[in-house]
Amino acid sequence: PKTHDIERLLALLVDHGELLPEELEGASILTAYGVNARYPSTTELTAKQAREAIELASMVKDFVKPKVR
Other beta carbons within 10 angstroms of residue 49's beta carbon come to 12
pLDDT given at position 42: 65
The secondary structure of the chain, three-state, reads CCCCCHHHHHHHHHHCCCCCCHHHCCCCHHHHHHHHHHCCCCCCCCHHHHHHHHHHHHHHHHHHHHHCC
Among 37, 31, 29, 26, residue whose Cα is nearest residue 3: 31
Determine the pLDDT at residue 59.
96
Query: pTM of the prediction?
Result: 0.80
Question: How confident is the model over 3-61, as pLDDT tens digits?
Answer: 889 999 999 999 999 999 999 989 999 988 877 667 777 677 889 998 999 999 999 99
Residue 66 has pLDDT above 70, yes or no: yes
